[in-house]
Every structure is written in structure tokens, then in C-alpha cells.
Structure 1
Amino acid sequence: MSEYLVIVESPAKAKTIGKYLGKKYTVKASMGHVRDLPKSQLGVDIQRHFEPKYITIRGKGDVIKSLRDARKKAKKVFLAADPDREGEAIAWHLANLLDVNQEEACRVVFHEITKDAVREAFNAPRRLNYDLINAQQTRRILDRLVGYRLSPLLWRKVKKGLSAGRVQSVAVRLIVDREREIRAFVPQEYWTVDAEFTVAQGRFSARFQGYGDEKTELPNREAVDELLKHIEGADYRVERVKRSERRRNPSPPFTTSSLQQEAARKLGFRASKTMSVAQQLYEGLDVGAEGTVGLITYMRTDSTRIAESAQTEARAFIADRFGTDFVPREARQFSTKGNAQDAHEGIRPTSVVRTPDSLKEFLSRDQLRLYKLIWERFVASQMAQAVLDTTTVDIRANEAWFRATGSVVKFAGFMAVYTEGTDDPATDEKDGKILPPLSEGQPLPEPTVSPEQHFTQPPPRYSESSLVKAMEELGIGRPSTYAPTMETILKRGYVILDQKRFYPTELGELVVDLLVQNFHQLIDVDFTAHLEQQLDLIEEGKTDWVALLESFNREFETELERAEETLEHVQIADEESDVVCDKCGRKMVYKHGRYGKFLACPGFPECRNTKPIVKEVGVDCPRCKKPLVERRGKRKVFYGCSGYPDCDYVLWDKPTGALCPVCHHPMVEKRSKGESLVVCSNAAAHPDAGAAKAHGQKVKGVRKKKLS
């Protein structure tokens, strides 16, 4: 008989901490939440101070029975759910179900699953934190009030099956507002003029800046012609050379938000995938002789604080691996944003000595890639500044003024390990451009002058990365809510994700407009951010949770009553296609699903026929000569024969429309180590070179590499 029962959320976490505690401890998993509000009713008694009615979650009966049986055999129970609001709520629900004395120190919290952290936590258990519990409970009740009282209104007035959420609706509004900005955008013409010089030491390019000492825009061809006339036959001379030293600091360790953004940029991970893989790394994996161990600290955090012990270990590692010049004099401290919760550390490896290379044979590809990203970001955050030599050269031709800039790394510092990505790839390569030696007063030969027309671009549509960034900056939601929020709005059909960018559907725009007109407070960005701040104050014990709910509900009730009276019925007409349903003969209509547009029979539910929308890609199947078409699977877009199922030919890379001159199979776009290549899709036809080296055509408009 075990003396102690320990309850965590998952079997993986149970396995990892079980080996640290010894035979006196039995470790079991609750498999997440065990109680929640009922799905069949509101489950909140508004008249009795918003008292929630919790019930056992369907399907959890066997788990709860197992926990109760183990409870009877143990003299003490420790509740070791995750160290956040949600984890505290899980612990509280378990305490109620298992009759755990809540006056006792039964709660155990650790931010990393390592032997020292787990043992230290069990040496200092605490009581349940009711401020954390109340903050979670308040969020749950707020979301239930909105979802269960607003959704029926949408069903009656707009369309059956619609739903609205407190945070999700604001996220959809951001996407809708951005789409309307793009539609309203009027491109403005502008020109650039570059002068390319060839000198003894090499070639370099300078761009026109203005006349005299003033900056001058080139809005049209007339302004360009005037400039070209002005510099015709002019003598070019170096007027000024300015050299300076620039220092760059490393980025801080990851927070949940920055991890999701960077994993999207560098690994192509969806936010939900990032959190799923990070959860595996946190809960523990078998790494050989060391056994099962948690590899990263808790991954739901908006703090960049790092434990002193971790900094000490990192500094010693950096000195040993890179040399003492790469270690800053003082350990780096990063300031945490004003609205961030500082209860946890930033995301880091539990031991910097566990390098990605040392874990290669134990982790899956995705686990290793995400661990490497976290490891490199943390190590770089504790390293010395990078030092860059920058040179700015001003060149004069009559009164016209051109400028060339160059930057070269003098001391790599943290850049020897990691540099942060951006949402604009063009800015990733700004360092490393070297200018030849130039001196003031130096005459220059006549350059090749290249005018180029441009047009201003509208703001880009949100990607998952940029939407997470926007939500964080605006204070909408919390780190743990970003991924599920995006999954929810996709599932409801309010937005679609195409080419990794969010587009609102007609339904999404309609629902946003209805909410803006009738529930201004609910869908207001500032109000939603203020509500998040109030939840934080509840967590800190500075605000009464019932008072917050009463204040919110009072205004919400008023808006509901007004909308019920004034909101007219809205009919959403499905767009009709030319495709005839092959089961009932009706003309099929376009619908929006989680994976984009598809065709459906309007006779639903009598006729449930659906079809994917096929788009020809401009090249025929090499087997049967029927057109190849773009198809969308659950995970990615692929390209298959339109003759399926008779012909099952498929490509996973996008055809360019060209055929291989050797074997006449489709040429495809392929990415390799950050480069975009055009290669033959038929590797078997090129056994000597392989498909990736068979051809060296360039892909226009992207980073490119010509293969030999």
C-alpha cells in the first residue's frame, strides 16, 4: 500500500515524475479536467451570485473510480496539476471529488519536470490558491454567458448552428477589419533609381535619396526622367564616408506567444502543433541512460525571467563551448511586459547540457526541431552582444544624392548560435552586405543607372504568427488561449486559412457586423483587453470575481434585450455553382469548411453529397494524360490526377507548369535548407544526380539557388 497518492493530468507526466518519488508514492493521471459546466444548459445560477453547477465530464467515470479507489488506500493526496489557473482549477475539482481536506497543504507545483524540481516541490506543498481558482472560474463563466446566451440569438436571427465566443469574436473582427483595409487600399505609385558602380576593388550599388541635403520622393515617371536628365553626363564623387560600430542584443527566452510566432516562421508549425509538441517536451521523454525526463520548462508563460541556477549553467556552457569572450560580464536580465504574469520562467531547456545533437536519436523530427529552437534561443539569450561594423557612403552627382550602406559582422556574439526571424523575409538578410574601400573625395566611374517602378502594398493578411502577435500586443486572451482560439474560428467557418494566411468568410463578416452593431462592448478590442486585466487582478486577489461578473452581465443583458427587439432576420444565400449534383440533379453550392471551400448539395439533409473544388495546375498527368488538379487534405495541399480513382498519381510539391526536358515529368517547386528550387518530380529518371540535382532552374520572386 502506497502512503501517498499524486495526481497529475497526463500519463506521460505521471511516468516522468513517478520515477523521482520512490515506492511510497502512487502517481495517477486525471486525463485533464474531471468536472465542468453541463453542455445541455447554461449551468450558472445568475440569481445566486453566478454560482456554477459543475458535473462530472461524460466519459470520465472510469478515471474517477480509479482515483477514488487509490484515494482510499493512501493516507495523503498531493495534487500536482500544471502551475497555472487551469491547473489550479483541475486540482480544486479533484479535491472536491476525492474529499481532500482543502485546509491542508495538498497542492504541489513545479515549473520543470526534473528530479531536483520535483523533489523540491514535494518538500514544500501549499494550500490551494483560491485567487487562481476564482480567476479560472470567472473566465469559464464569462465564456459560458456569452456562448450560451448569444448563440441562440444568432440561431434565430441568422442561421442555425452559429455560435459566438468572447475572445474568438474579437479575433475574427481583427481578421475582418484587416481584409476590409486591404479592399479599401489604393496603391500609390513610386519609383527607385539605383546606380551600380564598378571600382577596382569590386562592385556596389547606391540608391537615389534626394537633391541637395533634402530627401526627395520619385512619385512618377516624370520625376524619374527629370532626375535622369539632371545626372546625365555628371561627375560622380564620394562626398562622405561614415563608419560606425553597431551592437545588437540577443532576443529574450521564449514566451508562449514568441515561441508560437517563431515556430511558425522557422518551422512552419501551426500554433496548435507548437503547443502539442512543447507539451511532450515538458512532460518528459525517454532519453536513453538518463531515462524519462522533462526537457523544457512549462510552456504556458508570458514571462522572460530565468532562474539564477539556469543562467549559471548556461554561462559555464557558453564559456566552455565558445570561449569567455562570448559570455557577458553580467548575467542578462530581460524586462517582462507590464501585463505579463511573472509566476513562471521563460521557456528554456531544463539543462543546457542536453544539446540538440545529444538528443537526436531519442526525439522525433518535430520534437527535435522545436527543442533545438528553444535551446538555441535560450543559449543565445545568455551570450554577449554581436558587434557589427556599418558603413554609410554618400555619393554626389551634381545636386543629386545617392547612398550606399553596408554592414559586416565584426564579432558574432549570440549570432553564432541564433538570430530571431521576422514576418518579412526581406529583412532577414540586412546584415552581411560589404562595401569596397572608399574614401571621401574619391571620383567614381559612370554607373549603370536602373529606374524601377513600384506600388505601395496593402497591409498583409494575418498569418497565425502575426495574429498571435497582434492578440498579445492588444491584450486579447492569454498565452494558453491563442492556439485554441484560432482552431475555434476555423472550425466555425468564420475564417479560412489559405497559403498560411487568414481570410474571413462571408459568414464571418456577417456575424462580425451583427456583433459590432448590437454588442459593441462585447466585440470591442479595448474592452476585451480590460477584461483580461480584471481577470489578472482576480488572480492577484485585488478584485472580487462576483462583482466583475455582475458588472459584465448587467451591460450584456441590456444589449441582448435590445438586439432581440431590433435585430431583423438575415438570410445568408449560398453561392450557386455550375456543378450538378450527381445524386439528385440540383446545382451544387459553395460552402466554407475548416480546410477551405468545397461544393455541397443544397438538398441537405435529404442529399448529403459533397465534392472538393478542383483547380487545374496547367500540366497533365504523366501516366494517363488527364489534367493534374490541386486538392486539399487534412494536413496540406497536394496535386493529384483528375482521373482518380482510376489513376492514383500524386505530387506533394507544387507543379510549375513546365515539364522535365529529360523525362517529361512535371517540374515542381521544392524547398531545401531555406532555398526554393525547381526540380524534376521523377527522381528515378535521374539516378546519378537525384531529383534534387537534376535541374537548376530558378524560382522567380523568392530566395533562389542554382544547382549544378
Structure 2
Amino acid sequence: MGNGTKLVIVESPTKARKIGGYLGNDYTVMASVGHIRDLAQPSQVPASAKAKFGKFGVDVEDGFKPYYIVGSEKKKTVAELKAALKDADELYLATDEDREGEAIAWHLVETLKPKVPVKRMVFHEITPEAIKASLSKTRDVDAHMVDAQETRRVLDRLYGYELSPVLWRKVGPGLSAGRVQSVATRLIVERERERMAFVRAPYWDVSATLAAPDAEGQEVRFASRMVSLDGRRLAGSKDFDTTGQLTPDGFAGNVRQLDEAQATAVATALEQAAFTVMSMETKPYRRRPQPPFTTSTLQQAAGNRLGMSSRQTMRAAQGLYENGYITYMRTDSVTLSQEAIEAARNAVEFHFGKAFLSEGPKQYTTRTAGAQEAHECIRPAGARFRDPQELATKVPADQLKLYTLIWQRTLASQMADATGSTATVRLSAPAGTYGEAVFQASGTVIEFPGFMKATGEGRRASAEPKTEQAAQPAGGAEPSASAAAASQATGRTAKQAESDENASLPPMRTGDVLHAVAVQADGHETQPPARYTEASLVRTLEAKEIGRPSTYASIISTIIDRGYVYERGRALIPSWLAFAVTKLLETKFPKYVDYQFTADMENGLDQIAHGQESGRDWLTRFYFGSGDGAAANADEAHAGLQQQVAQLGEIDARAINTIEIGDGLHVRVGRYGPYLEDMNHLDDQGNPKRASLPDTLAPDELTVEVGHELIEKNAGGPRALGVDPATGGTVEVRNGRFGPYVALVPDR
């Protein structure tokens, strides 16, 4: 019999301590420390159950029934929970309100087998008010959400255990395929293929620094760029295709492509020219705040602005949530509760004044396709938002930076738009025999910063010529998503930004004549598609509805840990191993790395979570096939994963592990790493000449020219190091397919 206490079980010890402090002595709060049981590995299945569960830990012949075990590391936890349950009159399951949390709650019931009433309590923030409110709104464990989680777990087991052995046999040992990780790897490989095939096109233009008086008569200098010459628009990056040729639109537009000599001559002709204002146009500028954070947008912003990986972001967010500082960090929703809207508006008024509030409360609508459970957005917890300074001595530095970002974004969502004006001036100047040159410059002035006051952006504006394409950062990664990102990344505070001078164009009227301070020819090259960063990969996965934002951090970590991808700066670069794995999956299992098919699988799991389909039926179609007379067991299988693997046939491992570079050069992916072969040039034994590949050489950097240089450096034959005193033989350095090695040549 119990003694009147109530047992509350949560996932983590930190969460248990926090909630225990709110509930008082009548409640015992304990942690399960995540899942207390999991799907068994085949090696963990007892001999008596091997016939049914021995291949996957799942009985595919009996409705995909999983075999669960309590791991050895969890037996002590289970014993402690059972002991505590004996003294309790009620059991409250307070795990997270998502599919994983719901499954943990279900496994607790299945394992502990309570004989007292069981109540499921849910909350989106760990505050005294939220915890106490959840006690009065308990429910049962959601069987549909549990079914969806179990289906996903079984699905991933079937996918990995069927496809990974094919990789072991044909590419290399220890490799893995995964429902989402393989598709994410394919995205990164495809981007690198595009970069490898890309042909850069050179183009030139002319820039001029001009001077004009401001309203007080002081000289103001601003940059401008030539946009047309002799009535023809200058070619820019958008006028070239991926092969380096002009696009059809470029031809149709009769664009002018300058070379270095022509651009230099035009610049020289313009040095003493008069620049006459043709037009001066001013338009109003308005920028609206973004919605509050979801899991995906938080990962993107933290990556762009704070340089945090997805894994670091989610770890920091977990700590903030469990300590009661933010709401639950796994959510697809941008919705704010009325309490949160009021708290945000109060904070805005306190910090910035009423003038910075939006006209009325703002509520945002979740537009993410396939959004899961209806949580609130990620925001500061409670009815009063803590200022970041209040947390400065309470949380680690990474958590403080992330909290500040969340606090800023939440306040900004209830603030007024930033407004100002954008001016564009066009000027003409005679360029001698080249005809009339037309230049353009634009400048934006932020007159009222609105929400930018909260996000750390001030009244800084620009008077810059529009360039066709910004230079890519190191590693060829995509640049940050916005100017705000740059502001955050450089550590500029709101106060610093506010003090920045307006960088606007000086007042000018049609017919005004200006002179150039400097004129120069500028050379450019078209740039290949930028490599993915973690932030842009997350954005792409979400846009394609592949996986779920709550899993993106672990997916990216997995493909890096497996050696499929590595980072250079913030850029994600695929290894040659990733090329081979992706090639095999694309050619032999195209459906299972297809973007739409993967998205459809995720949508199927959503339907199961909403009770619109059963996991058993869904898995039957996936594994055994579908159509009229859909397979009910392995004997009837036809179109599912099981038969895709069973009917695979022979695979040419050499072809799978070969990546063509051009001019007879091939990269081979061997068991000991990638190496380069020159099929057009043989060594003394009649074998293709080979060279090892430097680890620092990215795939798109291995051009035909670089490849031949590597072969040449490795083709000089053995080099004698000296004589072995013990045998009298010669010690040589030789180059093999796996790189340099030392050999002893016996003395003859």
C-alpha cells in the first residue's frame, strides 16, 4: 500500500530537481534518464526467440512486433523506480510531449506495471504555474503517438539492417545507411558534383568612387558601378550558365561582356570624365520582424549568428529548458500564448518604450508543412521574461548566448516594423570611343529601427553599388542569411549599432555634374553553388519535408562521425567515401534516397500519430510491397524493401567505387582510403599510375590539372634512403595505391 505520496517520473535528473522544487513534499520526482528499454540488437535476442526476432530484433511475420529489452545500464534505474512506486498512490508520467516522450511514458507503464492510477501530465515550460496547471489537466498516454514512434524505430531498423550490409560488401566495412542520413548525404554529394562540373566564367566591369556635397556642403564620397556601356547592359553572373557560356536570355538581351583590357581602357577613359545625374529615385523602405523561433529556425539562426552547430544548439537549448528558462525546444509552431504576448510586449515597453511596440498584439501562423504536435514556439519561459543579464551568472556562456538570441527574437516579434528610405541614382559619363557609360549606386537609411532595436541592428545603412555576387566565405559555404546575422557574428551590440552613422547617398538632382575620385576596372568570376552549412542544410531538409527538425542535429552529427562529411570552416564537404555510398544507393536503391519518397515516409508517420493509419499496415506496405493484393508476408512480397534487397543481383564493386575526374583520371575508393589512378598512363608493370590523395583536397578541387600533378609527383619511381646495416639491402621509399611506404630491397 502507498503512503499517500505521488510518484512523478521525468526524463532527466535536472528536470526532476526543478519540478520537485515546485511540487513539494507530497510528490516524489524521479528521472528515468531517457528510455528505460529499447529495441534489442539481434545479438541480444535470447536463443528461444531467435527464429522470430533474430534478424532485426523485429518479427516481420507477426505485424512487425518489436523485441524490447531493458539494458544492463538501466536495470538499477528500473529497480529504483519500482521501489518508489510501491510507496505511491498515484503515478504521474511527466515526460516531454512529443512522440519520443510519449513512447518513454508508455515503456514506463509496460515495464513498471503499476497497480495505481496512471496520469499523463504535459507542459511546455518548467515554471511553477505551468507545472501546477498540468496536474489538473492530465490525460492518458496517447497510443497513436506511441504507434508512430514505434513505427519510426522499426522502420529505421529495417532500413539500416537491410541496406547497410550491402555497403559492407561493396564499399567498406562498418558503413551505415539510414532513412534520413543517406538522403542528407546525397544532398551534400549532389552539391559537390555541381561544383565539380561548374565552369567559371570571367567578366569585368568598372567601379567609380564619386563625390558630391551633402546638405551642409561637406563632401560625401560614395561607390557606384557601371551597369551599361554604349546602350548595352554589362554581363553579370546571372547571364552565364553552369558551363561558363552566356545564357539564352543573355544572348537575347545583347549583353556586353568586357575582358580585362577593355575594362581597363574604359576605366582610363573615365578618370577625367564628368558624371551627370540622369535620375534620382527614392522609395520607402520597410522590414518586418520574423516569427518567433521553431526548432529549425533556432538551429539556423544559432548557426548563422553564433557559429553554433546544430548539436551545440540543441544541447544548450535542452539545458535552458530543463532549468526553466525557455519553453520546450522541439516544436514546429510559431504560436505565442496570450500570456507570452503580454510578457513580450511588457518587456518591449520597459526596454525600448511604447513607440517600438507594434500597433496591436501579433500572432503568427505556423506554415511548416507536416508540422507535428501543437506546441508553442521557443520563447523565454514564464509570465515575465527574464532579461539576459539575469542569467549571466546562472548558465554557461553558450546557453546565455542562445537565450539572448531567443529573447531578442521573441521581443522583436511584437515590435514595430523598421522603416526608412532607399535612394537609387543613375549617372552617365562619356567613355571616349566606347560610348556612354551608365553607373548606378543605391543607399538605404533606416529612419526608425523598430524591431531592429531588439535584435542588435541599428540605423546602419549602406551606399554601395549592387554587386552581382558576393564572394563566398572559406570553404565555399553559403553566407549568413541576413545582415542581422553578420551583425551578430561580429559581436556588435545594439548600442554600438545605434551609434553607427547613416551611410546614405548625398542629395542630388537630375543634371548635377560630379567627378570621380577614383575609377578602376574590376574582374569577377561566376561562382559555383555554395556548399551547405549546417544552417542551410537544416533549411533545405525542412523545405523538402525530410526528417524532423528535432532530429537534424543527430543526423548531421551522424554523417560527420561516419566519415561521410567533414567541415572546413562552416562548409560541409563530402568525402570520396560519401560519393561511393551515394552512387550505390542511387543506382541500386533509388527509391530509398529519393527526396519525395523520404518526405512521404515522414508524412506517413504523421498520419499514424494522428490515428489515420496503423503502423502495422504502413510497415507492411513499406517492407513487403503494395498494390492490389498487397503482400501480407514474405512469401507474397514483391515491391517492398525486402525484395529490393533479395533480388539485387550482382553489383560491380569497382564501378561503384570509381569516380571519374576526366582525361583518364579516376578516383578509386578502396578499403584503406581513396586514391587516384591514371588509366591513360601505365607504370613499368603495366598498371595504371597511382597517387594518394591529400586529406586536405576537397573533391571539387581535384581538377584534371591537379590530378596530373599528383600523378607526376608520385611517378618518379623508388627513392633510396640508405642501406640496411643488418642485411646490406637498400631501403627505398615507394608510392603505392594507399600512399608512400618504405620497402627493403635485398642485396643481390
Q: How far does the alpha carbon of each residue in 1:57-115 deviate from its partner, in whole angstroms, 9 at most, with x for none?
A: 2310000000011111111101010110000000000011111479x661111000001
Question: In 2, Cα distance between the equivalents of 1:303 and 1:513?
Answer: 37
Question: In 1, Cα distance between the equivalents of 2:413 and 2:557?
Answer: 31
Displacement of 1:320 in angstroms is 2.4
CA contact (8 A) 1:493 1:592 kept: no
Equivalent of residue 645 in structure 2, options 527, 546, 560: 560
Q: State the superposition RMSD in angstroms.
A: 2.7
Change (3 A) 1:209 1:342: farther
Change (3 A) 1:245 1:60: same
Question: In 2, Cα distance between the equivalents of 1:273 and 1:235?
Answer: 56
Question: In 1, Cα distance between the equivalents of 2:450 and 2:279?
Answer: 30
Corresponding residue for residue 155 of structure 2: 142
Instruction: Tell me the TM-score normalised to structure 1 length.
Output: 0.77
Corresponding residue for residue 78 of structure 2: 64
Corresponding residue for residue 204 of structure 1: 222
Equivalent of residue 66 in structure 2, options 52, 60, 76: 52
Question: In 2, Cα distance between the equivalents of 1:150 and 1:576?
Answer: 22
| Structure number, greater radius of gyration | 2
Kindly indicate whether residue 167 of structure 2 is the aligned counterpart of residue 97 of structure 1: no
Question: In 2, Cα distance between the equivalents of 1:576 and 1:137?
Answer: 39
Question: In 2, Cα distance between the equivalents of 1:370 and 1:43?
Answer: 40
Displacement of 1:344 in angstroms is 0.8
Equivalent of residue 582 in structure 2, options 496, 512, 515: 512
Corresponding residue for residue 184 of structure 1: 197
Change (3 A) 1:88 1:426: closer
Change (3 A) 1:182 1:589: closer
Equivalent of residue 258 in structure 1, options 278, 297, 300: 297
Question: In 2, Cα distance between the equivalents of 1:252 and 1:265?
Answer: 17
Question: In 2, Cα distance between the equivalents of 1:499 and 1:108?
Answer: 43
Higher RCO, 1 vs 2 (CA within 8 Å, ≥6 residues apart): 2
Aligned pairs for 1:540-619 (under 5 A) are 540-553=610-623, 554=625, 555-563=640-648, 565-570=649-654, 572-573=669-670, 574=672
CA contact (8 A) 2:478 2:532 kept: no
Change (3 A) 1:427 1:448: farther
Displacement of 1:548 in angstroms is 1.5
Corresponding residue for residue 34 of structure 1: 36
Change (3 A) 1:43 1:142: same
Corresponding residue for residue 331 of structure 2: 301
Equivalent of residue 339 in structure 1, options 361, 370, 391: 370
Change (3 A) 1:575 1:324: closer
Corresponding residue for residue 8 of structure 2: 6
Displacement of 1:364 in angstroms is 1.6
Equivalent of residue 402 in structure 1, options 439, 450, 459: 439
Instruction: Tell me the TM-score normalised to structure 2 length.
Output: 0.73
Supply the AA of the counterpart residue of 1:266: R
**Structure 1 gaps, min length 5:** 285-293, 578-587, 594-708
- 1:402 aligned counterpart, secondary structure: strand
Displacement of 1:501 in angstroms is 2.0
Corresponding residue for residue 183 of structure 2: 170
Displacement of 1:590 in angstroms is 8.2
CA contact (8 A) 1:305 1:342 kept: no
Query: Does 568-577 or 71-80 show the bigger shift?
Result: 568-577
Supply the AA of the counterpart residue of 2:385: V
Supply the AA of the counterpart residue of 2:149: Q
CA contact (8 A) 2:545 2:599 kept: yes
Displacement of 1:192 in angstroms is 2.5
Q: How far does the alpha carbon of each residue in 1:201-259 deviate from its partner, in whole angstroms, 9 at most, with x for none?
A: 31112111125776432533265367558858654211111112111111111111111
Percent identical pairs in the alignment equals 43
Corresponding residue for residue 368 of structure 1: 400
Supply the AA of the counterpart residue of 2:221: R
Displacement of 1:433 in angstroms is 3.1
Equivalent of residue 424 in structure 1, options 475, 479, 490: 479
Corresponding residue for residue 82 of structure 1: 96
CA contact (8 A) 1:2 1:23 kept: no
Change (3 A) 1:204 1:188: same
Change (3 A) 1:163 1:425: closer
CA contact (8 A) 1:265 1:423 kept: no
**Structure 2 gaps, min length 5:** 44-53, 214-218, 236-255, 431-435, 459-476, 488-499, 626-639, 658-668, 676-690, 697-748
Displacement of 1:417 in angstroms is 1.2
CA contact (8 A) 1:251 1:420 kept: no
Corresponding residue for residue 392 of structure 1: 424
Corresponding residue for residue 248 of structure 1: 287
Q: How far does the alpha carbon of each residue in 1:503-557 deviate from its partner, in whole angstroms, 9 at most, with x for none?
A: 2222211111111111111111111011111111211222232222111112212
CA contact (8 A) 1:172 1:495 kept: yes
Change (3 A) 1:375 1:426: closer
Kindly indicate whether residue 258 of structure 2 is the aligned counterpart of residue 220 of structure 1: yes
- 1:521 aligned counterpart, secondary structure: helix
CA contact (8 A) 1:2 1:26 kept: no
